[in-house]
Amino acid sequence: MTAKGGHADENLLQLIAAKEKELEQRVAQAREQARRLVDDAQREASTILEQARREAARLQERTQAEIARESEAAAAQRLIQAEAEARQISARAAERLPQAVELVVSRVTGGLS
C-alpha cells in the first residue's frame, strides 16, 4: 500500500508543482499587463500634457492679440478725442481772434497816445 500511496503523493506533488507554475505564469502575465497599462497611461498622460501646453500657448497668443487690439482701439479712441478737443480749442481761438487782435491793437495804439 505504501507503493500506491507513494505514487499518489508523487502525483499530488506534481499537481501542486504544476499549479504553482501555472500561478507563476498568471502572475507574470498580470505583471506584464500591469506594466503595459502603466506605460500606456504614461504615454496618454504625456500626450494630454502636451496638448494642454499647446492649447495654453494658443490661448496666450489669442489673449495677447486681444489685449493688443484693445490697446490699439483705446489709443485710437484717445486720439479721436484729442483731435476733437484740438478742433474745439482751435474753433474757440478762431472765434476770439478778432477780439484778441482788437485788444492788442488797442493796447499798442493806446500806448502811443
Q: Is residue 113 scored above 70 in pLDDT?
A: no
Whether 42 has a pLDDT exceeding 70, the answer reads yes
Encode pLDDT of 56-103 as tens digits.
999 999 999 999 999 999 999 999 999 999 999 999 999 998 998 888
Per-residue pLDDT tens over the stretch 60-69 = 999 999 999 9
Per-residue pLDDT band for 9 (boundaries 50, 70, 90) equals confident
Give CA–CA dist 5/12, Å, rounded: 10
DSSP annotation of 32: H
Question: CA triplet 20, 24, 26: central angle to 5 degrees?
Answer: 115
**Residue 110 pLDDT > 90, yes or no?**
no
pTM of the model: 0.51
